[in-house]
Structure 1
Amino acid sequence: MSSSPPSYAGVLRTHHAPSAFGAALLGRLSYGMVPLALLLAVKDTTGSYSVAGLVMALFGAASVLLSPARAALIDRYGPRRALPWMAGAYASVLIVLAQATWQPGASGLRLGALALAAGLCTPPLGPVMRTVWSSLVPDRELLRRAYSLDAVAEELLLVGGPLLVGLLVEFATPAAGVAISAGLVLTGTLALAYCPAVRDIGARPPGPGAAAVPGEGRTLLSRVGGLRHAVLMMGGVGLCLGALDLLVVAFTEQRHQGSAVAWVLAALSAGSAVGGLVHGAVPWRLSNRVRLGVFSGALGTALIAAGLSPSVPVLVGMVAVAGLFVAPALTTAYLLADESVGNDSRTRAGAWVNTALNAGISAGTAGAGLLVGRLPLAVCFTLSAVPVLIGATVLARRTQARRPVEVTG
């Protein structure tokens, strides 16, 4: 075994890691493209923003809320058996959606049903890839770097996907973006499912005990404290991020600089990427549980400061500072979830964290929509940070209470 310190180069030199990581990124690029492509395609064919919003809500709800159930299938049957049919079903529905939105006049009811069906089948590529990392990288320090690299790459894909759609619609209909997304997810998922790194991640062995594994279903959350803490904190982080998107729009429009929204959100992504890389490179002495509270609390504090910005350029800088803590918090939550469960529950654990984040983002956006216009923006920024600050405080107290006490006598 090499005695060199853990590094990002060491992560990529891990046997079979490049092929698995590359395949997962190819499939996940689809997730960066399909939301905008489908939104534009539905709006073009129906001529209605409200219908487009409803279709996307159905797609997002099914995709996010059922992620733990799909991950449970991965844990139960193994990615090599479960992923291909999920990807095949998902890509097939996307192709039908692309065909349905290619010309004007599609039925909103039909599009909604198809979007719901697509969301039901979305392959959980992120949780599966993190399970693969856990299998390939037994060293916890190297695994932290692997998770950080994964989070940064995913952040860049979520930024690059809409940019690719923006370029594509200059030359073709948005429905073409939906069709391309189908091809990407099918190709990437099949490549991941059949790469050598996945060979050792098998199905749960059959037998009487297979159907009664402790922590099955929702009881996984109720029985595993570390996972529950990770999920609750990511829900709070999601609330912050979802509210921030809308608050940034309101802030820039209030100052008649609406076009600056893209720069503010780009600063958030850039800060997150830098923070993620630094987090993976620094040797931390703090436990994952403690770091999660620190990063989440720092994110909330930075958002409160961002709400006090006197101008858009200052807001850009403050949001970039807030972004420094996004990828580290997310990475640490995944690490905490991973170390809290057994090998047969890792995909589900990661899916619960991801579900909490995305559900929090949706709830945060909706909540901010109710507050903007009724309260000063600085107050809205502060209220959006309150849940994550409370969560960080509670987590810190519980961590303090968990410290071992020396018993004599």
Structure 2
Amino acid sequence: MCFPGCGGQKPKASPVEEPHAAGFLSALERANITTAHLQSKLDNPITLSDTRRIMDAVTPYLLMPPEDCGLVDAAVTSREDCGLVQRRDEADDRGFAQDSIADCSSRFFWRVLTGRRREKPIRIVDVVLFGYELDLLEIRFHELDDVVAHTVLLENELSMKGVPKPLMWQEARTQERFARFANRTSSAVVLTRDTPVKKRGLWPWERATRQAAFRVVRMVDMQEGLELDNDDVIIYGDLDEMPSGESLRHLQQCEPRPGVFPLSGGLLFFIGRLDEVYLSDSPVPGWKYLLERPSYHRWHDAKRIRRLEQPKRPGGYLPGGWHLSDYPFLPFILIKRITISESRALESHIWRDVLRGEVRPDFRPLMKGWKKRLTRFDALAAHNARYRMLGEVAGRGPWYLLCNRERFPAWFWMRDRRLD
């Protein structure tokens, strides 16, 4: 299937210099969403009618696989082929390949792990709040492939502003890029168009989703026959709150200290680029550039709570992973800005250049005091041994993203030909 777009040649490994996205902007115009019309909406509330038309026009681009129409080569699907680890065929007496055995004696995780190996590895279930980011889902599947036993995708028929939206996983699950993960993935619609939602506060749909999430997980446990043990772990968070596979490997194989659950993650906070980290409003104590996400719950404890959510007082923090916020793929950025709860309008200082076909909207001014909150990760690691070790142990970024730059060019200031 050839989706809209697919223009030009393979992307060049160089920063974008000329305007692009002509095909995408033309698609908006064919849906009567002209550049002039959007410009007239800058800094003004977006109507429900505009939101629906934009969503209809943008969705085909969000569904389009990077390899569609032969614009990029086949993906690199193993760390060995990427050169990140040395290929080793030896295995221990439990069947683990040597390069998949966690170093439980590592001092990096000493605050949450005892240094001893578990009697047997636990199973980990990844429960993900999923909206539109199929490219990020592909990256997450590969990052956690050998540590997550099952993935549960929670989708809504409503956006976080209450506007009807398509179920993206139902549309994309048969794509070749997801084939190897399909038998270990379940999906559930949490909020339907008929679900009553108490519209209090800024995030009513998010709150309603959290309240329903655990009910869905219990249902999946029974339907899929997972037969989870008390020590097995449930991850809960948004799709772009991505744990490091290496950190999870240590949690899976190494003994936790008493009282560390519920556990919180600690993620490097990236905003549309991978070279700068953002100082979050919810940092991990002692790690001001790590975001306190996602949450980890023992199945024994999770069965007793009414809803899955970020613990207010976690027993410990597992560092390693990345908050991949504001994926700078233009269709995703546009749909995010019109559907997130806190959005009120398209900000003119961001979108005026975007509507001329520029590739990279600059979202940093949206962040309060952003100039004082961003720092180069390389400089941070050079002067801080803990962050340097974080990059070495847990990874500088998702390996599948770093090994497939042409597949996800927007993260690297490169041209995405799906928009041409």
Q: How does the TM-score come out when normalised to structure 2?
A: 0.23
The structure with the largest strand share of the pair is 2
The structure with the largest helix share of the pair is 1
Q: How does the TM-score come out when normalised to structure 1?
A: 0.24
